[in-house]
Chain A
Amino acid sequence: MHTMTRWRAKRRYEANRRFGERADDTLVAIAILKGRRDGIELEQTDEELADKLRRGRELLEDIRDALAEDPGVDPYEMAIAEELKAEDPNPPSVLVDDFDELITSVETAEHTLDYTEGLDDVRTWLKRISNIADRTSRESISRMRGSLANGTR
């Protein structure tokens, strides 16, 4: 009777994946902006770049809202925020301020399409978020496999 529900594992995976995609897009955009600064020519239109940066900014905004415990936050984003809080020595209010700075850095890059130092921090945080999402999804996948023949829900 008491078996893991593969439903929930899947649902978690889906949320993780969408999350990971948004972070990945922005990480590609940041790499391209850095490449441009260093004189590396990469095929990518300004619109594509701005769009990739926007997705990452929106993700950071969602996490910022979850860190601030705003009502109506998506449950999955709340879970990610809780992990970030648990891993960080600073109180949540400091994290919220940090996220505001990250959001400003991406927003500026969306307009100027120039690489700035602030984007280094954005990259670090997006990777951290992406790692949490990835870790959860790997666990979910192995649980899904393990529980495939345990159908009671």
Chain B
Amino acid sequence: MPTELAKAQVEFLEGKFDAARTLVEKFDPTIPQAETILQAVEGGLDQVHQNRRLYDTAHEQAPESETALELYEKYLGSIGKVAFDLQVLETQLVYFDLYQYQRTLSVEDRLDHAQSLSDELTTAFGIDVTTIPVIWNGFAIDPLDYRIRATGDISHIYAVILPRTQSEPWRYAPLIGHELGHAVLDRHGDLETEFYGEVQEVRNRTRSGLDHDHDNEVEDEDHFVTSWRAWFEELFCDTCGVLTFGPSYLSALVWHLFDSNPYYIERDPDYDMHPPPALRFKLVTELIEDLFPELGDSVREYRTAFEFHLDALEGERPSDYNAYDYDELRRFVLHEVPDRITHDLDDLITDIQDGMRPEDSSTRAHRLATNEYWLDSFPP
């Protein structure tokens, strides 16, 4: 009987859940939101049993009826959902395992730095989240409870992923500002929706031939829309980097973006859809000119070096690059984001200009140390 197979599957899932629950409950430090996460999985299991009862009742009365077959299908569907919830929970537990294990290794200082920097940044952004730094193989952030219904629509626990490296942490600290920008955007769905509306408007204008702003035509307008929807998130995060790190964001970014093709536009939406480095650089320099032009000179050396790099590789630029670098969409990020999110840029700029020592600041110590590391001179 297929229902016996399904039952065995449910029993196996329940066994996995019990194992996960045991681990979650004895975890030290306590996992935030643990109870709600467990309840969400439990709720999914209740749904499985409820659907099973409905199916059994229908099957007893009319085994061949459409209703019985449809309820069987729904029963299987609810099992699949619990299986996925458990997979999410298991992935979270692996991160926690990794975090606990890495605390015992020589990378502990690095984790401490990332943790304390993340605390400084989440305070500056005014967001209430828990961050779990782990060493992996690059810069990333992973929202751990994103798909657990009971904790709401947004994630509260983020794994902040760092590369394994012996470079000084100030070198890459601004990139963590970018990564936490993703958590900020999670709390600004309004901006994302508004931006998508802008993209849609641009497409409608192009479609109706009313767009006179651009000389170059985009051949594949669907790809243009897909690209900009994906690019928005990254450009938003770059803006968050500038708003929290000031001029040092530009220096860290040009080092990070240094690449053999800064004009690369990914044509396959199944691959990474980061905006081209040249576009990110352009936005960041515009932000600096807009927000703190007086400190522009402090990172002139890095800016000039990257401009040279861009000039040298001009030949790599795809013929439709200009059409993709759509001023109106870039300006949306430039003008809307700084006004709409919480940040402490003005105070940071004052601190930098005053040459405040990192150890004298309780709220911006890591970021002052980072600017001290990257700026041509400190105070500029």
> Is B a genuine binding partner of A?
yes
A151 engages B136 (CB within 8 Å)? yes
- B54 A43 Cβ-Cβ under 8 A: yes
Q: Which of B30-38, B111-119, B268-276, B326-334 contacts A (4 or more CB under 8 A)?
A: B268-276
Expressed in whole angstroms, the minimum distance between the Cβ of B105 and any Cβ of chain A is 19
| A4 closest partner in B (C-beta) | B272
Q: Which residue of A lies closest to B69 (CB)?
A: A31
B304 within 8 A of A: no
- CB-contacts of B10-40 with A (<8 A): none
How far does the Cβ of B185 sit from chain A's closest Cβ, in whole Å? 10
Task: Say yes or no: A10 contacts B196, CB within 8 Å.
Answer: no
Indicate if B66 sits at the interface (CB-CB under 8 A): yes
Interface residues on B, range: 35 or more
User: A40–B259 contact, CB under 8 A?
Assistant: no
Write out the residue numbers on chain B whose beta carbons fall within 8 Å of the beta carbon of A150: 137-138
Kindly identify which residue among A4, A27, A39 contacts B74, using a CB–CB cutoff of 8 Å: A27
Q: Does chain A have a CB within 8 A of B77?
A: yes
Q: Is B51 an interface residue (CB 8 A)?
A: yes
Q: Does B366 sit within 8 A of A, measured CB to CB?
A: no
Tell me the A26-48 residues at the B interface (CB within 8 Å).
27-28, 30-32, 34-35, 38-44
Report whether A152 and B196 are in contact in the complex, using a CB–CB cutoff of 8 Å.
Answer: no
Chain A residues within an 8 Å CB radius of B66 = 31, 34
Residues of B within 8 A of A39 (CB): 61
Residues A151 and B271 in contact in the complex (CB < 8 Å), given A69-B200, A72-B193? no
Q: Select from chain B the residue with minimum beta-carbon distance to A14.
A: B147
Query: Which A residues from 1 to 21 make CB contacts under 8 A with B?
Result: 1-8, 10-11, 13-14, 17-18, 20-21
Given known contacts A38-B62, A43-B53, A153 and B146 CB-to-CB distance under 8 angstroms: no
Residue among B71, B84, B196, B270 making CB contact with A78, cutoff 8 Å: B196
Cβ A21 vs Cβ B81 within 8 A: yes
Q: Is the CB of A75 within 8 A of B196?
A: yes
The residue on A at minimum CB distance from B222 is A82
Complex: chain A residue closest to B162, CB-CB: A151
- Residues on A with beta carbons closer than 8 Å to the beta carbon of B271: 2-4
Cβ–Cβ contact B141 & A153, under 8 A: yes
CA gap between A143 and B269 in the complex, in Å: 12
B270 touches A31 (CB 8 A): no
Q: Per-residue 0/1 for B38-79: is the Cβ within 8 Å of any A Cβ (1 yes, 0 no)?
A: 000000000000010110011001100111101100100110
Given contacts A17-B147, A151-B138, contact A40 B62 (CB under 8 A): yes
In contact, B51 and A143 (Cβ under 8 angstroms): no
Partner of B182, one of A7, A27, A32, A152: A7
Q: Write out the residue numbers on chain B whose beta carbons fall within 8 Å of the beta carbon of A97.
A: none
Residue in contact with A75 in the complex, picked from B74, B81, B229, B270, CB distance below 8 Å: B229
Contact A5 B272 (CB under 8 A): yes
What's the nearest-Cβ distance from chain B to residue A13, in Å?
6
Complex formed: what's the CA distance from A38 to B77 in Å?
24
| Distance of A40 Cα from B57 Cα, bound (Å) | 8
Docked CA distance A153–B70 (Å): 42
A35-B65, A153-B274 given; A2·B139 CB < 8 A: no
Contacts of A30 in B (CB 8 A): 70
* A11 → chain B closest CB, angstroms: 7
Q: Which of B67, B142, B147 contacts A38 (CB 8 A)?
A: B67
A-B residue pairs in contact (CB < 8 Å), sample of 5: A2-B264, A32-B67, A34-B67, A35-B65, A73-B193
Question: B residues near A, CB below 8 A?
Answer: 51, 53-54, 57-58, 61-62, 65-68, 70-71, 74, 77-78, 81, 84, 136-143, 146-147, 149, 161, 163, 179, 182, 192-193, 196-197, 200, 229-230, 233-234, 259, 264, 266, 270-274
The 3 closest A-B pairs by CB, nearest first: A151-B138, A35-B67, A151-B140
Interface residues of chain A, those whose CB is within 8 Å of chain B, are: 1-8, 10-11, 13-14, 17-18, 20-21, 24, 27-28, 30-32, 34-35, 38-44, 69, 71-75, 78, 141, 143, 149-153
Not counting A78-B200, A150-B138, a sample of 17 additional A-B residue pairs whose C-beta atoms are within 8 angstroms of each other reads A1-B272, A1-B274, A4-B272, A5-B274, A7-B233, A8-B230, A13-B147, A14-B147, A20-B81, A21-B81, A40-B61, A43-B54, A73-B193, A151-B163, A152-B272, A153-B138, A153-B139
